[in-house]
Structure 1
Amino acid sequence: MWSLSQILVAVSAAFITPAAGPADDGQWPVGGYRFSDEMGGFRIVEAHGEGTRRDPVVLTQEFYSASPVVLVIRGYGPDAGPRTIPGSPGTALYLTLRTRNASGLGWIEFQFELQEEPGQPSTYGDGLSFDQRRFEPRGMGSDSFELHDRNFEPHDRLLFREGKVDPDETASFSILITDLTPVSPFYLVQDPRIPLS
């Protein structure tokens, strides 16, 4: 026979969703995706969220150099991929990246680039973009950089500027990735910029 306190603990535990941990293959399953740091240069340390506007996927990560790194994003399961965009056949992923600068060098800009094929620019025809059709006007931002610029052709790039991230500090970036013709996997290149000497 269970006591009332044991029942309350069991019920509470059923409603608590801990942050995701890496699967056996090193991928972090969260929000209908698997996020992976398999290409190296950085490490995902925590992941949680559903990928929606109200509950974005939040990845906490550490960068060990000021060189570009690649986040691999795969769909999985029956609900593979992001949530649908109302009135569109496409999908949307609200993503917040909490990025710790463990490189030992200060960053003065930070650029993101989307790719469907690693090393190949994402073009208008592939449907993958940083909300190119502007479904969500407030989908992009950072707590460390004042401004951001979008460059959709010939690449899908998002550059955060007018700020800095010193060594051992953490910057937060909120981005919205839309895909009118979803594929899995796709790639997010993350490129911290250092001052030129």
Structure 2
Amino acid sequence: MSESLIVITGGPGAGKSTLLEHLHRHHGLNTVEEGGRAIIREQLASGGDALPWANREAFCQAMLAHALTTRERALDAGGLWLFDRGLPDVLGYARLCGLPIPEELETAARELRYGPTVFLAPAWEAIYRNDAERRQDFAEAQRTATIMSELYAELGYRVLELPRGSLEERAEFVLAECPL
């Protein structure tokens, strides 16, 4: 059931991955890693160019494939799953970058649903850091968070903004709103 698939979205560097790791480690919840980071690591290791700074269209296609696969695996496994981004995030990325949007992506983002509530990690300059996989500046992180919030709302999801608080406060906020 798609209600058991919960998305945490937002801009890069807003604490999504850290929050999901905490929810997995301390609360035993199933989590799905962000596709973009996994793809960047794989591409850098293999010398590929499906990277946001090299070939954005190939990167977008790889993220779509990852999102489709991980969603299906979670549904097959059953239980509650928390996702570091969902299919609509791939559509948001394409819009943000001005990429052509394949019909498959548009259809998947609209029809392959997640739970009705999506958590938005707002752009938060105090915790934002660049690293080998995150090269965007803070302004792009803000634009990304805005696009994701607008897109999920456009698709009929209830978007709840995570508090700018401690990791435990954010975790408790998610736990209070999740269908556990």
Q: TM-score, normalised by structure 1?
A: 0.26
Kindly indicate which of the two structures has a greater share of residues assigned to strand.
Answer: 1
Which has the greater radius of gyration? 1
Structure number having the greater helix percentage: 2
